[in-house]
Amino acid sequence: MKKLLAATAASALFAGVASADEVKIGVLLGFTGPIESLTGSMATAAEAAMKEVSDSGLFMGGSTVTSIRADSTCIDSAAATAAAEKLVTSDKVAGLVGADCSGVTGAVLSNVAVPNGIAMISPSATSPALSTAEDNGLFFRTAPSDAREGEIAGMIMAERGIKSAALTYSNSDYGKGLAEAIQKGFEAQGGTITINAAHEDGKADYSAEVAALAAAGGDILVVAGYVDQGGSGILRAAVDTGAFSLFELPGGMISDTLTQNVPEGLNGSFGQVPGNDSPGLKTLGDMSGGAFDVSSPYTPESYDAAALMLLAMAAANSTNSADYAPKIMDLANAPGEKIYPGELKKALEIINAGGDIDYVGGSAVELIGPGESAGNYREIEVKDNKIETVKYR
Amino acid sequence: MDFLNAIVALLNFVIIPAAAYGAQLALGALGATLVYGVLRFSNFALGDTMAFGTAITILGTWWLQSHGVSFGILPTALLALPFGIAVTAALALATDRVVYRYYRQVRAKPVIVVIASMGVMFVMSGITRFVIGVEEIRFVDGTKFVIEANSFKQATGLAEGLALRSTQLLTMVTAALVVAALFWFLNSTRTGKSMRAYSDNEDLALLSGINPERVVAITWIIASALAVIAGTLYGLDKAYKAFNYFSLLLPIFAAAVVGGLGNPLGAIAGGFLVAFSEVGVTYAWKKVAGYVMPEGLAPDGLLQILSTDYKFSVSFAILILVLLFKPTGIFKGKAV
């Protein structure tokens, strides 16, 4: 017994000390479930960053990085927690890239990451609630909070001279959070939200909802919904009855199907969707070699999440979360040499020489506040029935 | 001017949508009430019969369109209606043969037949989804508007626009024609009279030589025709989605019960009553009140009695109130 205790204490002491070794990273994404069409590309992008770091031979004295995938299911918190528990306790991963959807990410954070002291970087959880979650400094995300989209939406509307707006949202966690953020963002710019009403997705008829929105009035109608669900129904009913002629369309409404679902009446309407025009995105696309698709949502963010985690380990010269997690913010932000995708070897050289880097990556990462991406948005406007980019913010 | 604006806003957001919706409900409720009157059970498969019939009509519409056939300013779906009705009636007759006839022969209690109709409902909804899928389908073509909101504003100089979609007008006109034809059939033809006789008193009707199987078959055909017409009009006016027809079941039965189950006139009145209550209760009256009330007295609140999320609860409330205080409905139907 004494020997066992001594061995445990010794291994605890030595854990986190660098030697040419194998470092395991858990990739916890919803490989089954509602976003299964996105996660293949996300995971491959994350693993591309790990391979780049391993191949450089400069990572923590020549250590290699191995990825271990696990299924978060996107919606089943219990399944995601069990998968994360397995990654942490039996596979002994040094950190988690994930989870993906906001609900399971919160569950994994509070049930697995915080109790076990494991850092996690989510590439895609956008709920504003995660900004204030209890994380002991272990949780980061390369995706922006929806609160940021609310601020951007408020700014765009104010710049276009909109004084009042009616607001309707899809009755879901996403829609509700975004609607609150937009109301806050618009009111901060001196605007007035005349009504903030939910709509249920998947109904045939939205004339009653639009009637209520029209009665409340406003210069424009903000539709914080899904383009393939009730959002388009609301738009059609509003256009048909002449209730509103201008619309503000958040990310969930921006898609090629928008102008198919609502073939007329949208000209002049505007909105914003996550996106950037940084050179990093193009570089990442060129180096993907078709293995992953950088235009797929959250794929560049996944590459960046894995890259940031590994660079932080290199900077701390430790795979212990408590050591490297505090480095993540420094590496992502100025000052320092700007690092784009494919330049991880250069980054490791600078870090090993004691220099400072500013990781930009594929999604123009800039971490703010509690360790989340500041967010880059593409402002769009519908012209001649086509979605056109106005500018990037 | 303000008063005119109030009337136009009311027409645009309450009266026109509710009237079109009411006409669709009335047709569905007629189908429910006919089956209840003659066969003496509440047909839960009604919603999915509507979905099935509309799906077949859509397939017919696509076939016609692929051959370059159109109906001018009217939707092509109207041409495909007879095809949809024929297939749906055949399915209803086959279902009667396989399922309901047995329960009629053993004189099963109505509640047993109702449960059997739930089984039929599940089978039908499965078939519908196999045939056409679960996605939203828009199959309306032809002219979209009779009155267009913006041109109305320009023409009249009013602040409020008025929109009348051609599908809304079409719904009301078709419903009126179908109801007139049905009443003529029930009151003036020999077959219609035999149906009413069978509905009033089965044993007496049998004694006077009425063939029950023929009455039942005709009832199914008429009920299917009503269901397909109502379903197609609803799909044209809004959008087709199989699940939405299942949700229509509640307001349709509320309409039939309010009017008095088994009473065709009641079904029509019930349909409009439910539609106008749903829209009226969930409408925010702020705008109309703002036009009508004297300056300074215009309200700040929305004047909305119930949020639109709770639209369906209106049907529930009506159903419960009627069953508590007037179980036979407005126009004396059969007690439930």
- Is A297:A13 a contact under the CB 8 Å cutoff? no
Residue A64 has, within 13 A of its CA and on its CB side, a CA count of 5
Full DSSP string of A49-102: HHHHHHHHS-TTTT-EEEEEEEE--SS-HHHHHHHHHHHHHTS--SEEEE--SH
In this complex, which of B238, B285, B309 lies closest to A215 when CB atoms are compared? Answer: B285
CB-based contact, A205 to chain B, within 8 Å: yes
CA distance B113 to B119: 10
Please check whether residue B335 lies inside any domain of the structure: no
- Is A142:A170 a contact under the CB 8 Å cutoff? no
Model pTM score: 0.74
- Is A168:A221 a contact under the CB 8 Å cutoff? yes
In the prediction, which pLDDT does A289 show?
Answer: 84
B124: CATH? 1.10.3470
Q: Between chains, do B239 and A217 touch, taking CB under 8 Å as contact?
A: no
> Among candidates B55, B85, B50, which has minimal Cα distance to B253?
B50
Q: Between chains, do A202 and B238 touch, taking CB under 8 Å as contact?
A: no
In this complex, which of A202, A205, A212 lies closest to B283 when CB atoms are compared? Answer: A212
Please check whether residue B158 lies inside any domain of the structure: yes
User: Which chain B positions have a beta carbon within 8 Å of A245's beta carbon?
Assistant: 150
**What domains can be seen in chain A, in order of their start residue?**
2-145+278-371 (3.40.50.2300), 147-275+375-392 (3.40.50.2300)
Domain assignment of residue B114, given as a range: 2-325
User: Which chain A positions have a beta carbon within 8 Å of B308's beta carbon?
Assistant: 197, 199, 208-209, 212
**The two three-digit tokens of residue B283, written as one number:** 């409408």
Amino acid identity for residue B102 in this structure: Y
Please check whether residue B294 lies inside any domain of the structure: yes
Strands A220-224, A247-249: parallel, antiparallel or unpaired by DSSP?
A: parallel
- Is B265:B254 a contact under the CB 8 Å cutoff? no
User: Which chain A positions have a beta carbon within 8 Å of B47's beta carbon?
Assistant: none
Angle between helices B212-237 and B16-39 (to 10 degrees): 160
- Is A67:A25 a contact under the CB 8 Å cutoff? yes
In the prediction, which pLDDT does B147 show?
Answer: 86
CA distance A197 to A216: 10
CB-based contact, A211 to chain B, within 8 Å: yes
In the prediction, which pLDDT does A93 show?
Answer: 95
Provide CB contacts within 8 A for B93, sequence distance 6+.
B217, B220, B221
CB-based contact, A317 to chain B, within 8 Å: no
Please check whether residue B336 lies inside any domain of the structure: no
Q: Between chains, do A240 and B165 touch, taking CB under 8 Å as contact?
A: yes
User: Which chain A positions have a beta carbon within 8 Å of B152's beta carbon?
Assistant: 242
Q: Between chains, do A211 and B304 touch, taking CB under 8 Å as contact?
A: no
Full DSSP string of B284-314: -THHHHHHHSPTT---SS---SS-GGGHHHH
CA distance A393 to A144: 13
How far does CA B65 lie from the centroid of its chain? 26
Please check whether residue B39 lies inside any domain of the structure: yes
How distant is the Cα of B206 from the closest Cα of chain A, in angstroms?
Answer: 44
> Low-confidence residues of chain A, pLDDT below 50?
10, 12-18
CA distance A383 to B7: 34
In this complex, which of B152, B153, B311 lies closest to A208 when CB atoms are compared? Answer: B311
Residue A248 β-bridge partners: A222, A270
Q: What is the pLDDT of residues A219-272, one digit of tens each?
A: 999 999 888 778 888 998 898 888 898 999 988 888 777 888 888 888 889 998
Select from B8, B10, B12, B13 the residue whose CB has the most chain A CBs within 10 Å, as the one to mutate to test that interface.
Answer: B13
Q: Between chains, do A215 and B14 touch, taking CB under 8 Å as contact?
A: no
How far does CA A380 lie from the centroid of its chain? 20
Q: Between chains, do B279 and A211 touch, taking CB under 8 Å as contact?
A: yes
How distant is the Cα of A117 from the closest Cα of chain B, in angstroms?
Answer: 43
Residue A103's H or E segment, with its range, is: helix A102-108
Residue of chain B nearest A194, judged by CA positions:
B302
CA distance A252 to A232: 11
ipTM for the predicted complex comes to 0.78
In the prediction, which pLDDT does A71 show?
Answer: 94
Residue A375 has, within 13 A of its CA and on its CB side, a CA count of 24
User: Which chain B positions have a beta carbon within 8 Å of A233's beta carbon?
Assistant: 239
CA distance A120 to A143: 13
Provide CB contacts within 8 A for B123, sequence distance 6+.
none
Q: Between chains, do A205 and B21 touch, taking CB under 8 Å as contact?
A: yes
Q: Between chains, do A171 and B309 touch, taking CB under 8 Å as contact?
A: yes
**The two three-digit tokens of residue B205, written as one number:** 């009707």
CA distance B303 to A212: 10
Please check whether residue B315 lies inside any domain of the structure: yes
Residue of chain A nearest B287, judged by CA positions:
A215
How distant is the Cα of B230 from the closest Cα of chain A, in angstroms?
Answer: 14
Q: Between chains, do A212 and B304 touch, taking CB under 8 Å as contact?
A: yes
Q: Between chains, do A211 and B234 touch, taking CB under 8 Å as contact?
A: no
* Alpha carbon separation from B3 to B10, B164, B291, B293, B329 (Å, rounded): 11, 20, 6, 9, 36
In the prediction, which pLDDT does B336 show?
Answer: 47
> Low-confidence residues of chain B, pLDDT below 50?
336
Q: Between chains, do A212 and B284 touch, taking CB under 8 Å as contact?
A: yes
In the prediction, which pLDDT does A222 show?
Answer: 94
CB-based contact, A268 to chain B, within 8 Å: no
In the prediction, which pLDDT does B52 show?
Answer: 96
CB-based contact, A253 to chain B, within 8 Å: no
Q: What is the pLDDT of residues B82-133, one digit of tens each?
A: 999 999 999 999 999 999 999 999 989 989 999 999 999 999 999 999 999 8
How distant is the Cα of B124 from the closest Cα of chain A, in angstroms?
Answer: 20
CB-based contact, A368 to chain B, within 8 Å: no
Provide CB contacts within 8 A for A115, sequence distance 6+.
none
Interface residues of B toward A, Cβ cutoff 8 Å, are 12-14, 17, 21, 145, 148-150, 152-153, 161-163, 165, 234, 238-239, 241, 243-244, 247, 278-279, 282-288, 302-304, 307-309, 311
Nearest-5° angle of CA A364, CA A366, CA A370? 145
Q: Between chains, do B239 and A215 touch, taking CB under 8 Å as contact?
A: no
* Alpha carbon separation from A317 to A17, A49, A173, A335, B212 (Å, rounded): 8, 18, 39, 20, 90
In this complex, which of A198, A205, A241 lies closest to B309 when CB atoms are compared? Answer: A198
Provide CB contacts within 8 A for B96, sequence distance 6+.
B216, B217, B220
How distant is the Cα of A390 from the closest Cα of chain B, in angstroms?
Answer: 28
> Among candidates A274, A277, A288, which has minimal Cα distance to A341?
A288
Number of domains in chain B: 1
